[in-house]
Each structure stands twice: as C-alpha cells, then as structure tokens.
Chain A
Amino acid sequence: MDTFGLNPKRITVFAGHYGSGKTNIAINYALMLSKNSDKVSIADLDIVNPYFRTKDSAKALEENGIKLISSEYANTNVDTPALPAEIYSVFEDQSRVAVIDVGGDDRGALALGRYVPFMEEEGNYEMLFVINKHRFLTGDAERTIEIMKEIESAAKLSFTGIVNNSNIGEETTAQTVLNSVSYAEEVSALSGLPIKMTTVKSSLFDELNGKIENIVPLDLYVRQSWLKEEK
C-alpha cells in the first residue's frame, strides 16, 4: 500500500476544531504508516472528549502492530483529563514513527504544549490542521483561521499543513467534497499552509481520485450499532 505521496515525518500531529474528524484520520494515518513500518505508535492526547476515543479502535490498531498510547481511563467512568507518562516514549525512541491525536479546539490543544520542546529539538514533525467546511460556525475560511490561531496559541506550536476533511457524515457525496475545495484553498491562502491531503470516506475514493490532489481514503474502524447498516 502506498502512502499517497505524503512523505511522512517521524511525528505527525493532528489537531483542529472539535469534531473535525481528527481521531479517525489519526487512526487511518497510523494504519497507513504501519504498511511500511512495524514501529508505529499512536498517542491519544485528547483530554476533552469523553466518548469516541482512539481506544475504540484498539483492536484494529493491535492487529496491525501499532502501539496505542492512551490514558488507562479512556472509555471508563473515570472522567479525569489524565495523560499517560508513556507518551514520552514517542519522543525518546526516535526509531519509531508516531501519530499524535490532539483533543479539539484550543482547550484540547493545551495538552500538546509540554511536548513541544522535544518536537522542536528533533525537528522531524509535522502538525496538520484538520478542517471541515460543514462543521457549524467554522464553515467560512476566516473563522477557520481564528480557530487555527487559537489552537496554535494554546499548543505553542505552529501548523505545517492542512487536512481537508470536509464531510457531512453519512450524507457525504463526491460533490460535497468537490464543493469544499475552494474553502480549503482559501484557508490555505490565508494561512500560507499547503493542503497536505484531502480525506474522504473510502467509498468515494475512486470517484474522486485524480480530481483532487493528495486524496486519502478513510475507513471507519468503529461501526456504531445505531448507525444505519450498509447494505
């Protein structure tokens, strides 16, 4: 499996607006990295979200030899914003490649700050800003940039690229994605950041491949029982 010409750095950080799709992208990205490396870690830095965590996909990650670093309290009833000490292994063991899933908004990004000195010292990371045109109140480029700046200020680290994950949940069509291109380009122009990739649910990949640069298919590794079953 190829890596869609993405040339991953040793550490890839996904951050963005609450509900922009960071966790699922981080899981898919880690799985993609695991095709070329047997030393992949994924770290869940989310201290905001009580549900829908990286740990939900523990099985798929484990099956692909990916090391999951997550609070032992994630998905339990212990509602504390605790981070595991094991996260430091991501920075200490430079033989591993790592994906870091940061919590939403500036509140979630606060947790990243303490690891920034390690990342800057090594200088082999990228921090990607996940955006979705269809999230309420962030659907215009200017508001998106405001959120970007809030996150950068909280995380004490600047983004290096954009992930356009524009979707409208189960109702997403190829047209939804195509219609989001101009929005992503505007965010890119305003921020000066490149659009690193456009992520789409895998059922739309063939239809969109070639029409948008750096398109990456996403699978949903946790199928919730209340979602309509696909025939």
Chain B
Amino acid sequence: MSEKVLMKGNEALAEAAIMAGCRHYFGYPITPQTEVAAYMSKRLPKIEGGVFLQAESEVAAINMVMGVASTGKRVMTSSSSPGISLKSEGISYIAGCDLPALIVNVQRGGPGLGGIQPSQSDYTQATKGPGHGDFRLIVLAPASVQEMVDMTVKGFDLADKYQMPVMLLSDGTMGQMMEPVSLDISEVKTYEKPWAVTGTKGERKPNIVNSLYLKPDELEKVNFERYERYAKIEKEEALWEEYKMEDAEVCIVAFGVAARVSQNAIDRAREKGIKVGMIRPITLWPFPKEALKKASEKVNKFISVELNMGQMIDDIRLAIECKKEVLLCNRTGGMIPTVENVLSKIDEAIEGGRK
C-alpha cells in the first residue's frame, strides 16, 4: 500500500477520475468546485490522450460530455448547484441516449445564485433526475475526501455497467476540506461498448446514439426497458453505512458532511447513555429503503439531518411507510448544523418518546 497523501476533496476526485481512466473533462468555473477544473487543466494536458476544455458555458460543457460519451470514452463534468441546473437539459439527453458519464455537483446554497457556502439543497434535483422526462441518475454521496476518491471510481464503473449518467453529489465542505487519502485504487473495470460511435470502417452497420423516437410506442418501450434496469439497480446497488444501530432507539439519517457532524453528536449523546445511532445513505438513489424499513421495526423515532429545508425526509418517510415519526434537524443557505443542533434534536426525540 502506498503512502497516504493530503488532498483537498476537489483535487482528490479529479485525480481519482484520471486514475479511473477519464481523459476528457469539460466544464465551466464556479465556486466551490473550481479546483476540479483547475486541477484537470494542469494534469490532463500532461497525460496521453488527455483533453481539458473550458467550455463557453455549462450548457456547452454537458453537450461535449454527451459527445465524448457516445464514443464510449470515460468522460466527466463538474459544477456547483446553479451550474447543474444549466446542465439539466443535457443530463436528460444523456440519460435518454443511455450514455455513461460522471457529473459532479459540489453543492452550494440556493435557490437562484444563492451563495458559495456548502449546502445539500440539490438532493431532490439529483435523486429525482435533473431535467425533463422519466429518468434517474445513480447518486453517490461521499462523506470524506477518501470517499470522494472511492465514489468517483465507483461512479465511472456504475455508469458503464448500467449505461447511464451517475452523479457524485458532494458539497462545498467536502470539496474544500483537506484530509489524508490513499490513492490505491484496487481495480478499474473496463466494459465492452459495442454501441459506441467510433466509425464503422465499413465493417458493421452504423451505431446510432439518439434520444428522439418518432413513434410513441417505441419511446414507451424504451422507457419501460430503462425502468427495468432501474429496478435492478434499486435491488442491487443501494449502499449505506450503519453507526451504533445495534441497540439504537433513535435513528439519525444523514449523508455527506451532515453525517460527519451527526456522528460526533451520537458519540456525545452516547456518553450520556442515550441510545442513538445512524444510517448513512451512501447511494441517495437508489435510496437504502430496506435498511431504513428494517430499522423502523426497532427504533422509536428518526431524525433527518440535512443542509436544506428538508428534502431527504420525504424519502425516509416513504421508506419506513410512515410507521414512525421523522424529525427534521436542518440548517440551510450555506450554514452547517452544529453538534449542539443535532444534540438538541436528539433530546427532542427522546422527550417526545416519553410523553
């Protein structure tokens, strides 16, 4: 195992993308993800076949991603919240064309221009599929710089495996913070891509990458088939981590930076003998429904800790079929919940339970 290095989240995910075989990056600067583009602009030109291009806009960048993806090469773009909204049309087209690509969102406060401080307020946008039409993204939510690396590699893999766009849903804190990471990437899988548009050389029929269907019954059929693939993903690809759930009476659900703060709050509450644990979704879509449903048979209450006005909380309620009350502990607009915020919500859950 090689020595660990100290990296900023944005740099780490960029380097991981290169290690995963990505040689094409298209983007447009926006705080707090600009280091991804800055890093790629320095690194990619030094690598054989590497292409870094600062597009004239986010809309252009995502369409360049679609172009490279249709040739079967690993490709990515990154942005922060407002930029992802601009990319939404292209993301829908990429999904409609069944193309693999990695899209990184280092979230900041919204709506509108919002602010540059960290946020998780694009949860709904990401998990329900940004853009028009019936489609999903696989959404990965790293909670450390190491996971920025691991999830980037995993993201490229899942994108190729299921021929669909994958989103790394990070936030400003994860992007800007520095932590030790190992860049040992055990295995980078490669996939056959017989659909790729690479030139027929007169040896085969042309491949066509397209999201336009002239007949509605054909479009319906493609959508049904795509959702069969989504059902398989929901069954097989959900990832989560449980923390001190064995005897928990209250279950915190949190991802990304909110999970880091929550873990500190859980440790402090445990010192006072309060039985609280956490389920941390690592994939936000597919959402770890089964894990939550199972927990709902044991715990009295759930707390959703989020950096938004309460978006994941609805998915929790659906997963547990509203069997238990779900409280919301949230900060928004670029503010991060404190350990004290979470502790007081835990107290509320416990006291409410005694009534």
Check if A194 is an interface residue, CB within 8 A of chain B: no
Chain B residues with CB under 8 A of A136? 5-7, 11-12, 15, 183
Which interface residue of B109, B178, B337 has the most chain A CB atoms within 10 A? B178
Query: Which B residues lie within 8 Å of A170 (CB)?
Result: 179-180
Choose one: A50, A77, A139, A169; the contact of B176 (CB below 8 Å): A50
Query: Of the candidates B11, B32, B114, B336, which one forms a contact with A225 in the assembled complex, judged by CB atoms under 8 Å apart?
Result: B336
Who on chain B is nearest to A136 by CB? B5
| Complex-state Cα separation, A229 to B32, whole angstroms | 26
Q: Are A134 and B4 within 8 A (Cβ)?
A: yes
Contact at A225–B334, with CB atoms within 8 Å? no
Chain B residues 247-264 with CB under 8 Å of chain A are: 257, 260-261, 264
B6 touching A50, Cβ below 8 Å: no
Interface size class of A (residues with CB under 8 A): 20 to 34
A171 interfacial by beta-carbon distance below 8 Å: yes
Task: Tell me which residues across on chain B come within 8 A of A224, comparing CB atoms.
Answer: 177
Chain A residue at minimum C-beta to C-beta distance from B179: A169
A72-94 interface with B by 8 A CB criterion: 77, 79
Which residues of B lie under 8 Å from residue A229 when comparing CB positions?
264, 267-268, 339
Q: A77-B334, A169-B179, A170-B179 are in contact. Are A134 and B32 (CB under 8 A)?
A: no
Which residues of chain B are within 8 angstroms of A178 by Cβ–Cβ distance?
A: none
**Chain A contact surface mostly:** loop
Is A226's CB under 8 angstroms from B172's CB?
Answer: no
Set of chain A residues within 8 Å of B179, measured between Cβ atoms: 169-170
B116 contacts chain A at the CB level, 8 A cutoff: yes
B116→A50 contact, CB < 8 A: yes
* 0/1 interface trace, chain A 90-102, chain B, CB 8 Å (1 if under): 0000000000000
**CB-contacts of B270-322 with A (<8 A):** none
Q: What 1/0 flags go to A33-66 for Cβ under 8 Å of B?
A: 0000000000000000111100000000000000
Residues of B within 8 A of A169 (CB): 6, 178-180
A28 adjacent to chain B (CB < 8 Å): no
Contact string against A for B residues 143-187, beta-carbon threshold 8 Å, 1 for contact and 0 otherwise: 000000000000000000000000000001100111110010000
With A52-B176, A170-B179 already in contact, the answer to whether A226 and B6 are too (CB < 8 A) is no
Complex CA–CA separation, A49 to B172 (angstroms) = 12
CA–CA, A146 and B178, complex, Å: 22
Chain B residues 103 to 143 lying within 8 A of chain A, measured CB to CB, are: 109, 114-117
Shortest Cβ distance from residue B195 to the other chain A in the assembled complex, whole angstroms: 36
Residue B24 is within 8 A (CB to CB) of chain A in the complex:
no
CA–CA, A19 and B181, complex, Å: 14
- A79 and B116 in contact (CB under 8 A), knowing A139-B5, A168-B4? yes
| Complex contact B178–A77 (CB within 8 A) | no
Chain B interface residue bracket vs A? 35 or more
Question: In the complex the two chains form, is A225's CB within 8 Å of B339's CB?
Answer: yes
A77 touches B114 (CB 8 A): yes
Min distance, Cβ A183 to any Cβ of chain B, angstroms? 12
Residue A199 at the chain B interface, CB threshold 8 Å: no
Determine whether B211 belongs to the interface, using a CB cutoff of 8 Å to chain A.
Answer: no
Please state if B336 and A77 are interface contacts (CB–CB under 8 Å). Answer: no
Contact A225 B264 (CB under 8 A): yes
A134 in contact with B180 given A225-B261, A229-B267 (CB within 8 Å): yes
How far, in whole Å, are A50 and B171 apart by their CA atoms in the complex?
13
Interface string of B207-227 (1 = CB under 8 A from A): 000000000000000000000
Residues of A within 8 A of B339 (CB): 225, 229
Q: Are B336 and A226 interface neighbours, CB within 8 A? A: yes
| A window 117-134: CB within 8 A of B | 132, 134
A135 within 8 A of B: yes
Contact B6 A167 (CB under 8 A): yes
Instruction: Give complex CA distance A226, B341 in Å.
Output: 13
Please tell me which one of the listed residues B11, B109, B176 contacts residue A51 in the complex, with CB atoms under 8 A apart: B176
CA A171 – CA B180 in complex, angstroms?
7
B-facing residues in A195-228 (Cβ within 8 Å): 224-228
A169 to B4, CA, bound (A): 10
Which of B3, B8, B264 makes the CB contact (< 8 A) with A19? Answer: B8
Q: Are A168 and B261 closer than 8 Å at their CB atoms?
A: no
Once the chains are docked, how many angstroms separate the CA of A139 from the CA of B7? 12
Cα-based distance from A18 to B6 in the complex (angstroms) = 11
The contact string, 1 if C-beta is below 8 Å from chain B, for chain A 139-162, is 100000000000000000000000
B261 vs chain A, min Cβ distance (A): 5
Q: With a CB–CB cut-off of 8 A, which chain B residues contact A167?
A: 6
Asked if B338 is at the interface (CB within 8 A of a chain A CB), the reply is: yes
Evaluate contact between A77 and B180: CB separation under 8 angstroms.
no
Other 4 A-B pairs with CB < 8 A, given A225-B336, A226-B261, A228-B264: A19-B6, A79-B31, A134-B180, A169-B179
Please name the 4 residue pairs, one residue from A and one from B, whose CB atoms are nearest each other, closest first: A77-B115, A226-B260, A136-B5, A51-B176
15 A-B residue pairs with CB within 8 Å: A18-B8, A50-B172, A51-B117, A51-B173, A77-B116, A134-B3, A135-B6, A135-B7, A136-B15, A168-B5, A168-B180, A171-B4, A225-B339, A226-B173, A227-B260
Q: Which residues of A contact B (CB under 8 A)?
A: 18-19, 49-52, 77, 79, 132, 134-136, 139, 167-171, 224-229
